[in-house]
Amino acid sequence: MRTSLLLILLLPFYAVSQNVGIGTTTPDITAKLDVSSTTQGFLPPRMTSIQRDAIVAPANGLVIYNITTNCLEIYRAVSWYSVCNGGVYITGKTNKLIGGVNTENPYSMEQTADGGFIVAGISNSSVNGDVTGTNHGGYDIWVVKLDGGGNILWNRLYGGSADDIAESIIQTADGGYVVAGYSASSATGDVSGVNNGLNDYWIIKLDAAGNILWNKLYGGSLNDYAYSIASTTDGGYAVTGYAVSSATGDVVAANHGGSDVWVLKLDASGNIVWNKLLGGGNDDDSYSIRQTSDGGYIISGDSNSSANGDVTDINHGSYDFWVIKLDPSGNISWNKLFGGSGSEGSFSSFQTTDGGYILAGYSGSSASGDVTAVTHGLNDLWIVKLNSSGAITWNKLVGGSNEDFGRSVRQTTDGGFIIAGNSLSGSSGDITDPGHGGSDYIVTRLTSAGTLSWVKLYGGIGTEAAYSVIQLADGGFMLAGYSSSSANGDVIPVNHSALNDFWILKLAGSGIIF
């Protein structure tokens, strides 16, 4: 009886020279296990992403079917690889959605000294999903510290009873962080100061663990918005944005008209050293500031003023790029308008290794003014290379048939440039990838001479926009932006809601998802 039972159990299996066959009497000699069937398939273990991530020290080659993403996944080295959507994508550490049940948008990311990342933006979620803090009211500033693989180390909400927005974050020399944005709150929650008007610049100094060391409001009687902060060589900070206020509160100068660029120089404790209103008779806004090698500053934004106030050039059309070079005391060394017959705006700028500057934004102009190329659609990414005196060396339009915006630019180790933003174009113009949904991440790489190396789209069926790109030591890139997609297209993780999550994505140097 015992022998008969053993024969019955082994009946479906055939072993030849220790090669096991299921459904075949002649298993392939190169296979330890050969499964053969024309009517049935092989079914690996099925589990959710959460259950998969709970596997301790998975072995290389481990196979599962992920019922969250409906994809077959294989573990290799440090990541799960998803065989899905016609290609192979790495899941887990380098493709992350971070958020709660409401809206989270990241507007700034920097790499930290420990090889991780610090990300700042907004959230109106409260103690749900990845958001561990309690919301103070409206939108709060949300700061998230990530390790090198994009895993959360800590996260904090900062705010008061009204809306509080972060636009820029940097790591400081003491290992902490400083955040720049704006706040409509007044002496509530984390906002210790009294608001001067409607929205004030809000600067927050954090220690390495995210605890507030100090925070200050700066502004006048109307709206004042901070968009960028930079560390200075004296241990202080330079902040830029724009102000509608005029000769009230901390805004000591009279406004030139509309909104003006407002630049603050702060000491290490956040006290104002000097502040400057720069502009013309119309609207003048700035979104980027960097300290330059001579101790001064380069500022970029947009202007629709023309040859009045501090704007010395004649406007080319609607809004132009406005680039301002300041000396260390905040005096204008030179300023330039760049544009065509349409509208242009610059969101990001850096000093380059040759002493010049690189600007990224958008242009709606076509072969007019400073825009030498023909536009591909409604708006293209516009990348402008300047020499140290502010003269154009080259300029490049990159885009498709719809709207495309450049929001972040960095110089790469080969002397070229990487630009990230968002695109509503599909496969058209310079873009060979099909669009995934409403808006996708767009990432393009240029040579040092401005020649297009590649341009790629990343996204899902929802809406995506990239706001930060960083080159990594391995030659790849880390992106931060937002996504409303969930487990579709390039967005492998599941969204925490039907709204926006932070989307952290790593690319290889060639632009493939890595």
Q: What gap in Å lies between CA 474 and CA 351, rounded to an integer?
A: 23
Domain that holds residue 234: 164-247+262-272
Q: DSSP 3-state assignment of 118?
A: strand
* pLDDT reported for residue 80: 74
Please name the residues in contact with 430: beta carbons below 8 A apart, sequence gap of 6 or more.
376, 398, 399, 400, 444, 452, 455
More confident: 406 or 73: 406
Q: What is the model's pLDDT at position 35?
A: 85
Q: Is the pLDDT of residue 472 over 70?
A: yes
- Is the pLDDT assigned to residue 203 strictly greater than 90? yes
Model confidence over 451-470: pLDDT tens digits?
999 999 999 999 999 999 99
Does residue 2 register a pLDDT over 70?
no
pLDDT score at 66:
87
385 within some domain: no
**Within a domain: 47:** no
Last residue of a domain, one of 239, 272, 305: 272
Residue 209 lies in a domain: yes
For 51, the 3-state DSSP assignment is: helix
Residue 151 has pLDDT above 80, yes or no: yes
Does residue 190 belong to any structural domain of this protein? yes
The kind and range of the H/E element at 465 are strand 464-471
Say what the pLDDT of residue 467 is: 99
Q: Is the pLDDT of residue 286 over 90?
A: yes
User: Can you give the pTM of this predicted structure?
Assistant: 0.85
Please determine, for residue 300, whether its predicted confidence score (pLDDT) is greater than 50: yes
Residue 234 included in any domain: yes
Asked if residue 403 lies in contact with residue 428, where contact means CB atoms within 8 angstroms, the answer is no
Residue 447 has pLDDT above 70, yes or no: yes
Of the candidates 475, 483, 473, 477, the one whose C-alpha atom is nearest the C-alpha of residue 503 is: 483
CA 472 from chain centre, in angstroms, equals 14
DSSP-assigned states of every residue in 183-235: E---SSTT--SPPSSSBEEEEEEE-TTS-EEEEEEE--SSBEEEEEEEE-TTS
Q: How many domains are contained in the chain?
A: 2
- Of the chain, the percentage scoring pLDDT greater than 70 comes to 94
Q: What percent of the chain has pLDDT over 90?
A: 82
The answer to whether residues 331 and 392 touch, using CB atoms and an 8 Å cutoff, is no
- Nearest by Cα to 270 from 227, 320, 232: 232
- 194 part of a folded domain: yes
Pairing relationship of beta strands 33-35 and 19-22 according to DSSP bridges = parallel
Residue 3 included in any domain: yes
| Domain annotation covers residue 119 | no
